[in-house]
Structure 1
Amino acid sequence: MAQQPKQAAPCPICGKPAKAAYEPFCSKRCADVDLHRWMNDAYAIAGEPVDEESLSSLSGETGWGTAKH
């Protein structure tokens, strides 16, 4: 029996079939929409809450949060 080609998963933004060039998305537009959502904190990865003091100590050690102009 011949195997059928694997059907592309739907684009997580619009539901159209994904295209290889933009996988898992169907287009550059949907990939950009997803990136915009990440950059504007629409998505978040669950984790333990972090207090402000911990963040302050981390930024001093790594240089995060300090802009060098």
Structure 2
Amino acid sequence: MTLKVNCPTCNKEVVWQTSSKFRPFCSDRCRLIDLGDWAEENHKISQPVQQDVKLSEEMLDQLEDELLQHSKFFIEPE
């Protein structure tokens, strides 16, 4: 089953797959429009930032492991 989403900018249907270069956007134009909206502060995160959350060493280790598993930046070239 192919997952399809609507472009956040123009609502055009986009197939969610690696060949969809600008997903979730339909085009570079829509991606740049959305970026401009964030830059002009037209979009906002609705929840306040929780600053009083205490992170344990275990939580930090888990976050670091997830980052290393999912980030291509840290992969050594062959």
- Quickly name the TM-score band, shorter chain normalised: 0.5 to 0.7
For the pair shown, which has the larger CA radius of gyration, 1 or 2?
Answer: 1
TM-score, normalising length: structure 2: 0.50
Which is strand-richer, 1 or 2? Answer: 2
Q: Cα deviations across residues 23-64 of structure 1 (Å, max 9, x unaligned)?
A: 00000000000000000000011216xxxxxxxxxxxxxxxx
Q: Which residue number corresponds to residue 35 of structure 1?
A: 35
Give percent identity, aligned residues only. Answer: 32
Q: Which residue number corresponds to residue 25 of structure 1?
A: 25
* Aligned residue pair count: 44
CA RMSD of aligned residues (A): 1.6
Structure 1: which 4+ aligned runs deviate by more than 6 Å? none
Query: One-letter code of the match for 2:28?
Result: K
TM-score, normalising length: structure 1: 0.56
Name stretches of at least 5 consecutive residues in structure 1 with no aligned partner: 49-69
